[in-house]
A and B are shown apart, each in its own frame.
Chain A
Amino acid sequence: MADIPTSRPSAFHVLTGIFALPKGARLGAGPAIAALVLAIIVMASVCAPLYVPHDPLSMDAMSRLKPPSGEFWLGTDPFGRDIFSRVMTGGRVSLLIGVGAAVVSVAIGLAIGLVAGFFRTADGIIMRIMDSLMAIPAILLAIALVALNGPSLGSVIIAITIPEVPRVVRLVRSVVLTAREEPYVEAAIALGSSMPKILIQHLLPNTLAPLIVQGTYICASAILIEAILSFLGAGVSTEIPTWGNIMAEGRTYFQLKPGLIFWPGILLSLCILCINLLGDTARDLLDPRMKKREG
């Protein structure tokens, strides 16, 4: 009680408080390396247009399937496009889809989940809809949605988002169902707080920690699903390079030019591995059982 700050805590303190390490706990080197590798991949992809030596889309019939050289660092593909430029540029779209799908599905799932968890009448209907969505295989649903809306970036994000939403809804709903029984929520009802106020100010903060963790998993799986969709020919149109469609195009020339699959594949795997590792770390940090000892 002695060292309590008497001033008002800032939003920054609240945020760092959520991630504060319990006393005595230590993070291994794993998460640090994962964060570093991920940061390098993200920076390299985002800044790709600034440094790549060639236009990733310009074809050149004279330089088809060239081996790696000083001009083409990783060689060229069957259309004479520079593989290095394409892979680095492709990362931008793949990552954008991953982050986009994670943010959109968490946002939609959060809103629906809060309503389902709090209002008993809405709960039954919403959850049956979510159950039926979950019953359809995610890839199949995504392919159908892309086929319906055309292969644009937006429609791919939507196609990946929709199958993920029910998982987020279930998570949020379960947190809300426990939290709404808490006496402080009942006290807020007794104090005459409106339903939106209770939902947003009392219940929503409880869901943030598990949602951050879930978000990282969705991000990783969205990158993977994008690659699968592209590979199946139902992804973003081939004019926009992504890791997925670079690999899809490369598969016919796999024996001649393994780098076409190898390089985007290795970046994709690294990326997903790092995101999942960080997600696990976040889960451990946010686990209330690990935070028990402080305070």
Chain B
Amino acid sequence: MKFSTKDLSRAEQVFSITGLQVGLAGQPDAAPVLDRIDLQIRAGETHCLVGESGSGKSVTSLATMGLLPKDALEVTGGRIQLKEVEITAASPSRMRDLRAKRVAMIFQEPMTALNPVLRVGAQIEEVLNMHTDLSAAEAKARTLDIMEQVHLPDVPRIYQAFPHQLSGGQRQRIMIAMALVLEPDLLIADEPTTALDVTTQLQILKLIAEMQQRHGTAVLFITHDMGVVAEIADTVSVMQKGRIVETAPIRELLTDPQMDYTRKLLQAVPNLTPRPARPVNGADAVLDVDNLQMTYGGTGWFSRSEGVRAARDVTFDIAPGRTLGIVGESGSGKSTVARCIMRLIDPTGGRVCVAGSDIARLSRRQLQPHRKHFQIVFQDPYRSLNPRWTVARSLCEGPINFGQPKAQALEHAAELLELVDLPRDALWRYPHQFSGGQRQRIAIARAVAMKPDLLVADEAVSALDVSVQAQVLDLLDDVQKRFGIAMLFITHDLRVAAQICDDVLVMQKGQVVEHGPAGAVLADPQHSYTKSLIEAAPGRDWDFANFRAVSAPSAIQGATV
């Protein structure tokens, strides 16, 4: 693992937070949202702020920008110093001026951060027009120059483009150009690569590092992804419940973390080295997908367009008690395959055999008796439970559909809640009374209540914090062992795939490019696309859980084959 090796001992200190406290507005007795935060960043330094959701990372960045939501949060103590300026005491008009010239911010979702009805070139130029005295021609020249610097292709064309005409990565480049065009002292990046695919993420991380070097900007980088941290950080602060629990240079933090919480956080990061596959048990496949085709569109009354071929000739099978992972970037068709198997959409060709019968062509009515054999767990735990229903009603819905008496279904539901580590009285609560991880447990219990032969997990842990993610993965593993369920695990996260899958199938643009045992595919990829995916995985050379570098690749192969 190559950590950042900048020598910052003589760099000027640009930004410092001392004893910052933020509390709920008007409630001086409530627990503070930020509790005496201290932070220092020098010129040219990248400081990563890591922590789970709700730990106060974003509140820190908003306080720095002077953008805390009025009426909700207020600074109750401490100082935020940007060179000679004290931010907490700055007037709104002074702050407005500071925000563009001295401190800039880029966000997670570049589509919503850009104005959809203005050309991107004009949006960058607007910053210059507001804050400098450049003439129109000079402003345009400067805009084209900064677009050149962020490596956008065909700059004159993109200058004229609207945000929706650009890819996610290009939009994030525009955001970076806009943030850096006035050469601020401090750049705050709030999860800037979380919404991007791994290969794009790598490019954006490289770009931020390059721009930082060129302009000497101090960067405050907020992320929950330890891989990204290992890739770019000079120094790291770990946040938990509004406090900074540990601050250290990157190498020290990863090799010798001092605090229990930091150790816990690092140990929860799944290892990219595949776990040993379970022995093949020789049983007949539960799921047998043969030549699955899915084409969207192309069947209009008046137009005979080609349509979008989201899945082409997808063929695989899963035996009981085993897990197959489908990995790929967004748009690769992995979710389409899952939805075809669940018959939430109707495949346009091929066979899907679950528990011995082909369900690809059955009508809604014919399909109904087969539904209990296959169940799904969705990505977003906040939307996958009906918010108006009690947990009991959600858990009993399926079994009652298949004729179980209500009392029995309720009893079974209570047992399932215990299985997923929730108290029995959770039955009478509503989904909004649970955290994301707990809701995902309920969703898993709901699927397992049907005693399915096949469980499809569509990005089931992607929306969860890393420690919660580890717990939910353990739960899935436990459920699988106990009931011998076959699992189809859809994910974009290679680390998760490495830890949970026996076999892996790599998809690109609707086609299967590689399929084999997880150990072989992830440790010794054959296809160039798989190779690029693995190479782009941030922090891939570091074994976070064991605080050391990953041992030589040859040894891994020996261990798994």
Q: Which residues of A contact B (CB under 8 A)?
A: 1, 4-9, 14, 182-184, 186-195, 197, 202, 205, 295
- Complex alpha-carbon distance, A295 and B369, angstroms: 38
- Interface flags for B368-383 (1: CB within 8 Å of A; 0: not) read 1101101110111001
B433 located at the interface, meaning its Cβ lies under 8 Å from any Cβ of chain A in the complex = yes
> B371 to A184, Cβ gap below 8 A?
no
Min distance, Cβ B357 to any Cβ of chain A, angstroms: 15
Q: List 17 A-B residue pairs with CB atoms under 8 Å apart, sorted by A's residue number.
A: A8-B428, A9-B390, A183-B379, A183-B383, A183-B384, A184-B387, A186-B378, A187-B376, A187-B384, A190-B374, A190-B376, A191-B398, A192-B371, A192-B401, A193-B398, A194-B401, A205-B388
Find out whether the CB atom of A188 lies under 8 angstroms from the CB atom of B397. Answer: yes
Q: How far is the CA of A194 from the CA of B403 in the complex (A)?
A: 13
Q: Which residue of B lies closest to A6 (CB)?
A: B425
6 extra interface residue pairs, beta carbon distance < 8 Å, beyond A187-B378, A191-B401: A6-B425, A183-B379, A184-B384, A186-B378, A190-B342, A190-B371
Quote the shortest CB–CB distance from B157 to chain A (angstroms).
34
Contact call B446/A295, Cβ cutoff below 8 A: no
Interface of chain B residues 413 through 472 with chain A (CB within 8 A)? 425, 428-429, 432-433, 443, 446, 450
B352 within 8 A of A: no
- How many CB-defined contacts (below 8 Å) exist between A and B? 69
Asked if B532 lies at the interface with its beta carbon under 8 angstroms from chain A, I say: no
| Contact between A9 and B428, CB atoms less than 8 A apart | yes
Q: Is the CB of A191 within 8 A of B446?
A: yes
Task: List residues of chain B with CB within 8 A of the CB of A14.
Answer: 388
Chain A residues whose C-beta falls within 8 Å of the C-beta of B429 in the assembled complex = 4, 6
B385 on interface, CB distance cutoff 8 Å = yes
Q: Report yes or no: B433 in contact with A4, Cβ–Cβ below 8 A.
A: yes
- Chain B residues in 8 Å Cβ range of A4: 429, 433
Asked whether B344 lies within 8 Å of A190 as measured between CB atoms, the reply is yes
Beta-carbon contacts under 8 Å, B328-382 to A = 342, 344, 364, 368-369, 371-372, 374-376, 378-380
Instruction: Tell me if B378 and A183 are in contact (CB < 8 A).
Output: yes
Partner of B364, one of A7, A183, A195, A197: A195
Chain A residues within an 8 Å CB radius of B450: 191
Cβ–Cβ contact B383 & A184, under 8 A: yes
Residues of A within 8 A of B398 (CB): 191-193
| Smallest CB separation, B362 vs chain A (Å) | 13
Chain A minimum-CB-distance residue to B428: A8
Q: Which of B375, B387, B402, B428 contacts A190 (CB 8 A)?
A: B375
B386 within 8 A of A: yes
Report how far A100 CA is from B206 CA in the complex, Å: 67
Report yes or no: A182 in contact with B433, Cβ–Cβ below 8 A: no
Number of interface residues of B (CB under 8 A): 33
A21, B376: Cα distance in complex, Å? 36
- Residues from chain B with a CB closer than 8 A to the CB of A191 are 371, 375, 397-398, 401, 446, 450
- Report yes or no: B383 in contact with A192, Cβ–Cβ below 8 A: no
Complex contact B397–A193 (CB within 8 A): yes
Nearest Cβ on chain A to B384's Cβ, whole angstroms: 4
Neighbouring A residues of B384 by C-beta, 8 Å = 183-184, 187
Name the contact of B433 in the complex, choosing from A1, A183, A187 (C-beta under 8 A): A1
- B401 cross-chain contacts in A, Cβ below 8 A: 191-194, 197
Q: Once the chains bind, are B344 and A186 in contact (CB under 8 Å)?
A: yes
**In the complex, A184 Cα to B428 Cα: how many Å?**
18
Distance in angstroms from A148 CB to nearest chain B CB is: 36
Q: Which residues of B contact A192 (CB under 8 A)?
A: 368-369, 371-372, 398, 401-402
Residues of A within 8 A of B344 (CB): 186, 189-190
B348 CB to closest chain A CB, in angstroms? 16
Given contacts A6-B425, A190-B375, A191-B398, contact A184 B386 (CB under 8 A): yes
For residue A194, which residues in chain B have a CB less than 8 angstroms away from its CB?
A: 368, 401
Contact of A187 among B372, B390, B432, B446 (CB under 8 A): B446
Whole-angstrom CA separation of A190 from B448 in the bound complex: 12
B12 CB → nearest A CB, Å = 43
Q: Which residue of B lies closest to A192 (CB)?
A: B371
Q: Closest Cβ of chain B: how far from A294's Cβ, in Å? A: 9
Q: Are B380 and A7 in contact (CB under 8 A)?
A: no
Q: Are B364 and A184 in contact (CB under 8 A)?
A: no
Considering the chains assembled together, what is the distance between the CA atoms of A174 and B397 in angstroms?
26
Which of B342, B371, B386: most chain A CB closer than 10 A? B386
Closest to A294 in B: B432
Chain B minimum-CB-distance residue to A179: B386
- Contacting residues, chain A, for B369 (C-beta < 8 A): 192
Best-buried of A14, A187, A197 by chain B (most CB within 10 Å)? A187
Q: Which residue of B lies closest to A18 (CB)?
A: B388
- Min CB distance A204 to B, Å, is 10
Q: Which residue of the partner chain A has the closest CB to B401?
A: A192
The distance in angstroms between the C-alpha atoms of A52 and B390, with both chains bound, is 51
The answer to whether A7 and B371 touch (CB under 8 A), given A188-B397, A191-B401, A192-B402, is: no
Q: Give the residues in chain A near B390, CB-CB below 8 Å.
A: 8-9
Please give the distance in Å from A56's CB to the nearest CB on chain B. Answer: 47
- Complex formed: what's the CA distance from A189 to B384 in Å? 12
How many whole Å from B556's CB to the nearest CB in chain A? Answer: 37
Asked if A187 and B443 sit within 8 Å, CB to CB, the answer is yes
A7 near B428 with CB under 8 A, answer yes
